[in-house]
A and B are shown apart, each in its own frame.
Chain A
Amino acid sequence: MTVAVPLSLIEAFDELARTPDARLIQGGTDLMVEINFNHVKPVDVIALRRIKELRTWQVNSNNTITIGSGVPYQEMEVGQLKELLPALAEAARTVGSPQIRAAGTLGGNLGTCSPAGDGLPVLFALDAIVHLQSLKSSRDLSIHEFMLGVKRNARHTNEIITGVTVPVLDGWQGYAKVGVRNAMVISVASACLAVDKKNNSVRIALGAVGPTIIRCRDAESWLVQQLDLTSATSIDTTIAQEFGRRVALESKPIDDHRSTAEYRRHAVGVLAQRLITRAYTS
């Protein structure tokens, strides 16, 4: 059993080459729970928290933002990241508690790939590109190709998720999450909506209502036909309602101890209706 704490990506790849089955740990908020609950017994662990390259973010010249996989959620709640990616800021603020937000990262959300991961609906709504790197190569994967199912993703074992790139859109965006208490709650259902005025499109992605995050493509394209997203300043209640109804239809929720499929379906419909209404009243 080993634990390695590399200080750079290069060192991390060396470690990964040496222990190819190692578990990668970033903030620890997922893996340590698994260990504490005796669900996994890692043999080798590579900790990424001290790799500075992963803890940075930058605005790119093509109006996109690249966020390192080790940037903690608390940094997304404030400042320029909040200004440019308000939906991500709202999602970040719903992640666990302040203590979790100081440790948790998008890298962790992507590595774990739980459908209840709070950051993931935002990445799906923004069509994020996930950056994966190995010792010898790197590749970029669309988030839609990256998340394969409940806690399954397309990362190869020799790869490290280095970050994501998302566009800075012109248009309202927001996130909402249903939980049964007012803070520190795991998602029962969540939704991220982003308007892209430049391309006259709207994107809505749902969390915790299917095996992966669900993009509601039918509802999105229906809405585009009802509304000029670029010029509209308000939205009819009936359109918002119908949008919610269509979003709900695209969800694939299940019954479990956190809620019922029926409630979750209902809830994402309400969230979609409210988010699109917020988009055209603010």
Chain B
Amino acid sequence: MSTVKQDTRLRDILGTSALRPDGVAKVMGSFSFSSDMWAENMLWGATLRSPHPYARIISIDTTAALLISGVSAVITAQDVPGKATYGLISADQPVFASEFVRYMGEPVAAIAADHPETCRRALAAIIVNYEVLAPVVDPELAMLATTEQIHPDGNLIRHQKIICGDPQISGDITVEGHYTIGMQDQAFLGLEAAMAFPDSGGKGVELHIATQWLHEDRGQIAACLKLPEDNVRLVLGGVGGAFGAREDISLQVHCCLLALHTGRPIKMQYSREESFFGHVHRHPAKIWMKHHATKEGKIVKVESRMVFDGGAYTSTSPAVLINGITHTQGPYQCDNAVVDGYAVRTNNPPCGAMRGFGVVQACFAHESQMDKLAQACGLSPVEVRLINAMHTGDKLITGQAMESVAPVERCIRETDAIPMPEPLAANANVLEFPGGSGRTADRQNIVRGIGWGVSMKNLMYSEGFDDYATARCTLSNGIASLKFATSEVGQGFVTLAPQIARSVLGVDDVVFETSDTQIGSAGSTSASRQTWMSGGAVDGACRLVRERLFEHVGELHNIDPIRLMIEHTDVIDTIGTFRISVTEATQGITLSETFEHHHRKTEDLDANGQGNCHVAFAFVAHRAVVDVDIELGLVKVVQIATAQDVGRVLNPLSAIGQIEGGIAQGLGLAVMEEIIMDNGRVKNPSFTDYLLPTALDAPSVVAIMIEEPEPQAPLGAKGIGEPPCISVTPAIVAAIRAATGKALSRVPVRPQDICL
């Protein structure tokens, strides 16, 4: 083999902390987010939204708005040439409301004008006559047949049960609880924004859009515009975070319609307030759960009833529900289960995808239950979880075998071994106290608590969905060029893809082509799937190119291609002494291959919730240490210790970034983030009142990445995006319980829940 062992860490291959290729542009402020676009002759688009959660539209008068100078178009439902509705799973959401508005903020009309301020005035000049109706906001009531059905498709979006093993069996010990999860917002910082360019003649449109899934958007947009998909070209605009909120259509159709109507480029961007109305949120849920166990604390059966409030339209509610109920058991062995799940339509804002996708809700319930079980059996939180920890090969409550690497025990033990933080010092700075700069607490008011959370999360899409990703690799003159439609939303696929190409092809220079719809779908940047799926596609395309390269070199130098391999940046003969650099070997030639990566097939669930519905799973443990001001109910999360099952670390810097970022979002749900509803009305659509964790709220994070390569995964790596934000929430709540002795059955935990 090679005589000179070069330090591979100098090359940004898999396993190294390669740096973001878009980093320089992002730190300079020159990276182009979709909101940064500008075009000659462009107009601004804006949306008129319903002020009511539920109302009948009697009339819409746009005359006055059209007379305002600077206004070029006002469009309503009657201006939608194609399908009047869209949706990810069920096309039940109108492009513009026509007969009814079903949630506060539902789009009713859109306008195009020369300045955002003209837009505001024009919106104010549209007269909509509503007959206000009493909203249906309680999912328990909404699902009853006797309640008014607020949509032609009915109020019950999906009902699914799981019956596994012996439904009648009981255990020596039972623990149960009712749990409530509030409505969380993804709150990405880069607000919804797009720019649409009409083709001359109005036969097509090009949309630059911040989205998670270009091809899915295109399909829905083309149907509404009544244009062939080929005439709707989507280009990824710079995306400022997503977290699930960019899976559904928001301004896409409106923006394209306005461009086609006016024949001019249209820029649309939501304000923060509008963003709260413009995208789906995490489902609020109510969960009852009961565990039966032996005296020793071994789970015998789990029973649960879950109700997810889907809001006015379907979005991904059916899939979120299935994720919730199929994760009832958590990362624990369980042979018997009776689970009943409902996703229900109400006049609340539509809910859909958010990081964790249904599992966050289930996990808060099952982890709260595990602590109750520990207490009932006289076990510690760690002991009860170790006794029940799932292993590879175990059967899930859906009947599916756990085929993924399942290092649950290891996650727990390694987390447990992480040193505890120092006790709060007697002379600690007030900024370290709960309440922070508000100076509410003194040292003696603060009590420390420790809590645990462990979770299992499915990876990729489920229930028979043929989920695939496409990538093309072109190698020429020592430069690899990659093309894919994968949405980079901040997660770092643009860092990973070149690492893959460098590892497979022995090149150093990797460039990208534009991410757009001029290649096959990459699927969505969600469900912790892009490293596995688009990573698999890039890996596959690069491997095909490498085969072609070996054939080319073999033919030229009369060596059986099978003897060739890549070493460092060279093609070498594994038997002989031949060696040629990849750059030299590819001078003047172009090798190009496209690869589609499909994961293994999954199945639908049957009537009893049985079926191999998920592809794979990842696991994580969290231990939270919190300081609580018990009298005021204020919380400071001091430390999160975590060990996460990642399969293989492909980029340590990216991985820790995902872990720390996910933990902050889980912390938000635990103690501060909630969209507050009052009879269908959103009360806090702003960053003054919807609170996100600040730098002073960030805990110290100590993370261990457990590397047991996943055989199913193309790169051995599991998706790491979602697990960090799932069990950290129950861990924090458990820690608050430990400090306060309060039962705390809802998140976010509010000050009054602790101290009153």
Task: Report A's interface with B, CB cutoff 8 A.
Answer: 36-38, 90, 93-94, 174-186, 188, 190, 256-260, 262-263, 266-267, 270-271, 274, 277-278
Contact = CB atoms under 8 A, between A and B. Distances in A.
A180 B671 CA distance: 8
Contacts of B436: 181-183
A37 B689 CA distance: 14
Interface centre among B120, B437, B438, B755 (most CB of A within 10 A): B438
Interface stretch (B207-215, B603-611, B629-637, B651-659): B629-637
A185 B438 contact: yes
Interface in B722-752: 750-752
Interface string B672-695: 100010100001101011010111
Nearest to A258: B689
Contacts of B445: 274
Given A182-B694, A182-B696, A184-B694, A174 B439 contact: yes
Nearest to B121: A41
A174 B441 CA distance: 12
Nearest to A269: B631
Given A178-B632, A179-B435, A180-B691, 11 more contacts: A175-B439, A178-B440, A179-B438, A182-B436, A183-B431, A257-B676, A258-B689, A260-B752, A262-B752, A267-B632, A270-B631
Contacts of A176: 435, 438-440
A18 to B, nearest CB: 24
A37 B273 contact: yes
Contacts of A277: 442
A38 B695 CA distance: 30
A224 to B, nearest CB: 24
Interface string B620-631: 000000000001
Interface in B397-452: 431, 434-442, 445
Contact of A180 (B437, B695, B750, B755): B750
Interface centre among A174, A177, A183, A190 (most CB of B within 10 A): A183
Across the A-B interface, the 5 shortest Cβ-Cβ residue pairs: A182-B436, A257-B683, A177-B438, A263-B752, A183-B696
A47 to B, nearest CB: 19
B440 A274 contact: yes
Contacts of B752: 259-260, 262-263, 266
Nearest to A262: B756
Contact of A94 (B434, B438, B684, B686): B438
A261 to B, nearest CB: 10
5 contacts: A182-B431, A182-B435, A257-B678, A259-B751, A266-B756
B411 to A, nearest CB: 29
Contacts of A178: 435, 438, 440, 632, 634, 751
B406 to A, nearest CB: 36
Nearest to A96: B688
A260 B633 CA distance: 13
Contacts of A260: 752
B697 interface: yes
A175 B441 CA distance: 11
Contacts, number: 99
A218 B592 CA distance: 84
A37 B632 CA distance: 32
A263 B633 CA distance: 10
Contacts of A38: 120
Nearest to B752: A263
Contact of A181 (B441, B442, B632, B694): B694
Contacts of B696: 181-183
Contacts of B695: 183
Contacts of A181: 436, 672, 691, 693-694, 696-697
B395 to A, nearest CB: 43
Interface residues of B, number: 39
Nearest to B751: A263
Contacts of B633: 263
A121 B445 CA distance: 24
A130 to B, nearest CB: 26
Contacts of B636: 182
Nearest to B436: A182
Contacts of A256: 683
Contacts of A257: 676, 678, 683-684, 689
A175 B634 CA distance: 17
A48 B358 CA distance: 52
B489 to A, nearest CB: 25
Contact of A263 (B120, B273, B431, B756): B756
A260 B271 CA distance: 28
Contacts of B684: 257
Contacts of B672: 180-181
Contacts of A258: 689
Contacts of A259: 750-752
Contacts of B273: 37
B435 to A, nearest CB: 7
Nearest to A179: B438
Nearest to B432: A182
Interface centre among A90, A179, A259 (most CB of B within 10 A): A179
A185 B691 contact: yes
A38 B117 CA distance: 9
Interface string B691-715: 1011111000000000000000000
Interface in B195-215: none
Contacts of A274: 440-442, 445
Interface in B265-286: 271, 273
A177 B750 contact: no
Contacts of A90: 439
Interface in B241-273: 271, 273
Contact of B755 (A182, A185, A188, A266): A266
A184 B436 CA distance: 10
A271 B634 CA distance: 13
Contacts of A183: 431, 436-437, 694-697
Given A182-B696, A183-B696, A274-B445, A177 B751 contact: no
Nearest to A187: B438
A61 to B, nearest CB: 32
A174 B439 CA distance: 9
Nearest to B431: A182
B51 to A, nearest CB: 13
Contacts of B437: 93-94, 182-183
Contacts of B120: 38
Contacts of B631: 270
A182 B697 contact: yes
A94 B440 CA distance: 11
Given A182-B696, A183-B696, A177 B439 contact: yes
A160 B447 CA distance: 48
A266 B693 CA distance: 25
A177 B634 CA distance: 12
Contacts of B756: 262-263, 266
Nearest to B434: A182
Nearest to B695: A183
A183 B686 CA distance: 16
Contacts of A184: 694
A73 to B, nearest CB: 12
B630 to A, nearest CB: 10
Contacts of B271: 36-37
Interface centre among B435, B684, B688 (most CB of A within 10 A): B435
Contacts of A180: 634, 671-672, 691, 750-751
A35 to B, nearest CB: 10
A267 B634 CA distance: 11
Contacts of B693: 181
Contacts of A262: 752, 756
Interface in B168-217: none
A262 B431 CA distance: 26
A270 B434 CA distance: 14
Contacts of A188: 751
A262 B753 CA distance: 11
A259 B636 CA distance: 19
